Amino acid sequence: MRIAFVGPLQSGKSTLFRAVTGQAASDQHLMGEHIAVVKVPDPRLEFLQRLFKTKKVVEATIECLDVPGFSHETAQSQSEFRKSLPHIRQCDALVAVVRGFDNPTVPAYRNRVDARADLEELESELMFCDLESVTGRIEKLQKELKKPKSHDEEKHQLELLQRCQNALENEQPLSKVIQSDEERKMVSSFAFLTELPLVVVINVNEAEASAPVPFDYPHAHTTIALCADTEEQIAKLDPQDRQAFMEDLGVGESAHDRLIQACYGAVGLISFMTHNQEEVRAWSIKQGTEAVEAAGKIHTDMARGFIRAETVAYEDLEAAGDMKAAKAGAKVRLEGKHYIVEDGDVITFRFNV
Ligand SMILES: Nc1nc2c(ncn2[C@@H]2O[C@H](COP(=O)(O)OP(=O)(O)O)[C@@H](O)[C@H]2O)c(=O)[nH]1
Ligand SMILES: [Mg+2]
């Protein structure tokens, strides 16, 4: 999964990015954007490592992208934001970071602290970009359809794009329009921005970090309030000091954990686990993924030569104590290609190429 931190200038995007990614050694610059890989913590992996006695544990990962801030008021920021759109389009979710903190030493964007207005402004820019793509394509399609040939596919696309256009003109994101897999496929080449699930982060003052979220943004899958500055300090601490510091501040869960959870939820991801002599490993997939597709995530050969998936639910394995006992208790199932993988499945794929 890849996520992008978007939002107005000076809202705390980079601060939150550092808090969540810890600025890992694997940092890279990608055409001016900052990208880092974050491990997805999963306590189930510890048990599996003990059980299978492997040297390595490989967590699932999320790639985070810190993109330039956006403001309608400065042409420079607008053009830089536009330049990073191709990267944003490759993401699975957007994390919109808006300012809810007052800090006299940091000038507020447009001299206002108004998280809701900032979100509306950001969304209107995203909608504008989508509307440009939609309108351009509609014009081309209308020309195409004047030619004498049967054009069922084009007609379907035109009908869908007109609904998209209508929604965008009424300030509705495309996530509200494009609902079925068929529709999603029909417009996938556009990589619409407002089709991406949105997680909103309201970056509040330290004192407000443990208060309830000030408001829920209607187009957001999840809205989180946190103090990015504090979270950066938390991330810098040694893990053993972290808990006490967070308790002192009344911070229940770190931004790192909350944000990963929110993005998993927004994208509809689950994890399954595999093991071999070397390692136990977690993989993230979309809810509803079939076993053969999950196998393909590991290696295309595994999907091509798929025979079966030997599957045990993590809870069953933990309760049984080990694989032998799980088998004796008939908890290990042999599943076929079309089995829908569930969160926590521990799977060994059998394949033949
Ligand atoms: N008081 C306060 N200042 C913050 C907070 N988060 C960020 N800042 C400050 O706001 C400024 C802009 O932050 P930055 O992360 O660079 O914003 P970006 O432009 O969105 O990447 C920096 O000076 C930060 O120290 C916060 O939660 N509270
Ligand atoms: Mg920044």
Is 8 touching ligand 1 by the criterion CB < 6 Å?
no
Query: Confidence band (pLDDT; 50, 70, 90) for 249?
Result: confident
Per-residue pLDDT tens digits for 169-180: 999 999 999 999
Q: How many CA atoms lie within 13 A of 308 on its CB side?
A: 7
Measured from the Cβ of residue 18, the count of other Cβ atoms closer than 10 Å reads 18
Tokens (6 digits) for 71: 């403001």
Residue 63, beta-bridge partner list: 2, 37
Q: Which residue has the least CA distance to atom 13 on ligand 1?
A: 12
Nearest Cα residue to atom 1 of ligand 1: 103
CB 42 within 8 A of CB 282: yes
Atom of ligand 1 nearest to the CA of 226: 27
Whether residue 81 has its Cβ less than 6 Å from ligand 1? no
**Which ligand is nearest to the Cα of residue 232, counting in written order?**
1
Probe target for ligand 1 pocket from 80, 204, 229, with the most ligand atoms within 8 Å of CB = 229
At residue 110, the pLDDT reads: 72
Whether the CB-CB separation of 46 and 57 falls below 8 Å is answered with yes
For 8-21, write each residue's pLDDT tens digit.
988 999 999 999 99
For the Cβ of 33 lying below 6 angstroms from any atom of ligand 1, the answer is: no
| Res. 33 pLDDT band, cuts 50 70 90 | low
Q: How far is the CA of 77 from the centre of ligand 2 (A)?
A: 11
Strand segments, DSSP code E, in 40-144 are 56-58, 61-66, 93-100
Most confident of 28-37, 155-164, 248-257: 155-164
CA atoms of 198 and 217, how far apart (whole Å):
10
Alpha-helical regions (H) of 250-322: 255-267, 291-298, 300-304, 314-320
312 — alpha (psi -120 to 50), left (phi > 0) or beta? beta
The best mutation among 103, 110, 206, 231 to test binding of ligand 1, ranked by most ligand atoms within 8 Å of the C-beta, falls on 103
pLDDT of res. 300: 96
Check: pTM over 0.75? Answer yes or no. Answer: yes
How would you classify residue 229: left for phi > 0, otherwise alpha for psi between -120 and 50, otherwise beta?
alpha
Domains detected in the chain: 288-351 (3.10.20.30)
Q: 15 CB under 6 A from ligand 1? A: yes
Q: Is 10 in the pocket of ligand 1 (CB under 6 A)?
A: yes
pLDDT tens-place string over residues 132-164: 999 999 999 999 888 887 788 899 999 999 999
Nearest CA to ligand 1 atom 19: 10
Rounded-to-integer distance, Cα 348 and Cα 160, Å: 41
Distance between CA atoms of residues 90 and 193, nearest Å: 10
